[in-house]
Amino acid sequence: MVEAQVEILLVEDNPNDVELTLHALRESHVTNPVHVVRDGAEALEFIFCTGAYASRNMNNTPKVILLDLKLPKVDGLEVLRQMKTDKALGLIPVVMLTTSDRPAEVEEAYRLGANSYITKPVRFTEFLQKVETVELYWLLTNTLPDK
């Protein structure tokens, strides 16, 4: 299973958006280890070290989670809700990275504990800038509590 330190967990079901995000991270010279999961159920298994990820070390938490809103099996808001109710896991910064800009969804995400909400732009250069901002702030600037 996943043994190496995962610093970024990307939760995204759209293969094109996965590739675009990974490409944007590479273009931004992000070298932090990224792990990709494709649906909300797999995200919960990864985060809580259950199912396929039962052997994963619970202390090896990501530094940031990039979470899509619209996911198969379990939607992003439910992943966020379950994660943020756990005392230790609730400290992991979650950046909602989604195409939806509906005010009700933005509000609900923040109510459930999202640390940031970014709407995916259509143009690659704009998307690249947003990914660079995420990387600079959440991985280099922000100070996380000790585990």
Nearest-angstrom CA–CA distance, 24 and 144: 24
pLDDT-derived band at 141, boundaries 50, 70, 90: confident
Q: What is the CATH number of domain 8-123?
A: 3.40.50.2300
Percent of the chain with pLDDT over 70: 93
Question: Model confidence at 20, in pLDDT bands (50, 70, 90)?
Answer: confident
The tens digit of pLDDT for each residue in 66-113 reads 999 999 999 999 999 999 999 989 999 999 988 888 999 999 999 999
**Domain ranges (residues) in the chain:** 8-123
